[in-house]
Amino acid sequence: MAGRKDYVNSKVASNREQIEHHVKEILKLIGEDVEREGLLETPARVTRMYEEIFAGYDVDPREVLGVSFDEQHEELVIVRDIVYYSLCEHHMAPFFGKAHIGYIPSGKIAGLSKLARLVDAITRKLQVQERVTTQIADILEQELSPHGVMVVVEGEHLCMCSRGVKKPGSKTVTSAVRGEFRTSSPLRSEFLALLKQ
């Protein structure tokens, strides 16, 4: 959603006072002094952050792809290293990483920046990485009707790195394959090889 007007979660914006109140209450409940100088503006800052990081609730990911273009290119198209940030719905802890998208057009292509915006629209809400991966692939398949889609998402999850098993540096990799990528091992291999270059 970068590169165009900033999206915000309208529910957060319209409930700003209540959210600030609850953030303040949580700070008290964990033992903080909410009158301490460093925390005076924290409830407002957290609320503004929520407006941004939960902006995906106000965006239809299908509409993000916008207009597609008729183009007779029917070879592999890849946009890789799309950085994303999301929040795990189990702990509300951040997870982040890179998404790699490949598809084989069947007469329709999307603007390349639209693929990055699609990732933002899907990740800016409470999520799990597996669902993020599936949703990207499904929306591309439904909206562009390509010959095939392959999505690989890498993520580092703070709920695993900083709590629980405490394994910093561990990465989760998920994939979704559709169409010709599902049936063609050489095509999958080509996609994966191009990601490594």
Binding site for Zn(2+), by residue number, is 88, 91, 159
> Annotated catalytic sites, by residue?
88-91, 129, 157, 159
163 and 126 in a single domain? The answer is: yes
The pTM assigned to this predicted structure is 0.91
Say which CATH number the domain at 32 has.
Answer: 1.10.286.10
The answer to whether the CB of 109 falls within 8 A of the CB of 71 is: yes
Segment among 18-22, 53-57, 68-72 with least mean pLDDT: 68-72
Dump pLDDT digits (tens) for 11-50.
999 999 999 999 999 999 999 999 999 999 999 999 999 9
Q: What is the DSSP letter of 110?
A: E
**Domain hosting residue 114, numbered range:** 67-196
The answer to whether the CB of 34 falls within 8 A of the CB of 28 is: yes
41 vs 38: CA distance, rounded Å: 7
Residue 3 lies in a domain: no
Binding site, by residue number, is 88, 91, 159
96 and 179 in a single domain? The answer is: yes
Q: Which residues contact 157 (CB under 8 A, 6 or more apart)?
A: 88, 93, 95, 129, 172
